Amino acid sequence: MRYSGLKVITEGLFGNKGWKPAWRNPAPKPAYDAIVIGGGGHGLSTAYYLAKNHGLTNIAVLEKGYLGGGNVGRNTTIVRANYFLPGNQEFYSHSLKLWEGLESELNYNVMHSQRGLINLFHSDGQRDAFARRGNAMITQGDDAILLDRDGVRELLPWLDFEQTRFPIYGGLLHPRGGTARHDAVAWGYARGADRRGVDLIQNCEVTGIDIEGGKVVGVQTTRGPIRAPKVGIVVAGRSSQVAAMAGMRLPIESHVLQAFVTEGLKPVINHVISFGMGHFYISQSDKGGLVFGGDLDFYASYAARGNLPMVEHVMEAGMTLMPMIGRARVLRSWGGIMDMSPDGSPIIDKTHVEGLYLDCGWNYGGFKAVPASGWCMAHLMATDTPHEVARRFRLDRFATGHLLDEEGTGSQHNLH
Q: What is the pLDDT of residues 296-309, one digit of tens each?
A: 998 888 988 888 99
276 and 330 in a single domain? The answer is yes
Residue 351 included in any domain: yes
Q: 278: pLDDT confidence band, cut at 50, 70 and 90? A: confident
Q: Calculate what percentage of the chain has a pLDDT beyond 90.
A: 85
Q: What does the pLDDT read at residue 203?
A: 97
Among 130-144, 211-225, 259-273, 293-307, the range scoring the smallest mean pLDDT is 293-307
Average pLDDT over residues 279-303: 93
147 and 166 in a single domain? The answer is yes
376 and 236 in a single domain? The answer is yes
Residue at which a domain ends, from 318, 340, 362:
340
Residue 84 included in any domain: no
Domain range enclosing 377: 26-77+183-251+343-415
Encode pLDDT of 145-166 as tens digits: 999 999 999 999 999 998 888 9
d(CA 38, CA 231): 11
Encode pLDDT of 75-124 as tens digits: 999 999 999 999 999 999 999 999 999 999 999 999 999 999 999 999 99
| Mean pLDDT across the chain | 95
Q: 44: pLDDT confidence band, cut at 50, 70 and 90? A: very high
* pTM assigned to the model: 0.96
Question: 344 — alpha (psi -120 to 50), left (phi > 0) or beta?
Answer: left
Give the number of domains in the chain.
2
Q: What does the pLDDT read at residue 405?
A: 85
Encode pLDDT of 367-400 as tens digits: 999 999 999 999 999 999 999 999 999 999 999 9
Q: Is the pLDDT of residue 416 over 70?
A: no
Residue at which a domain ends, from 295, 318, 340:
340
Q: What does the pLDDT read at residue 364?
A: 87
402 and 294 in a single domain? The answer is no
330 and 372 in a single domain? The answer is no
Q: 2: pLDDT confidence band, cut at 50, 70 and 90? A: confident
245 and 198 in a single domain? The answer is yes
Residue at which a domain ends, from 309, 340, 371:
340
Average pLDDT over residues 326-338: 93
Q: What does the pLDDT read at residue 145?
A: 98
156 and 222 in a single domain? The answer is no
In this structure, what CATH number is given to the domain that contains residue 295?
3.30.9.10
Average pLDDT over residues 223-228: 98
322 and 363 in a single domain? The answer is no
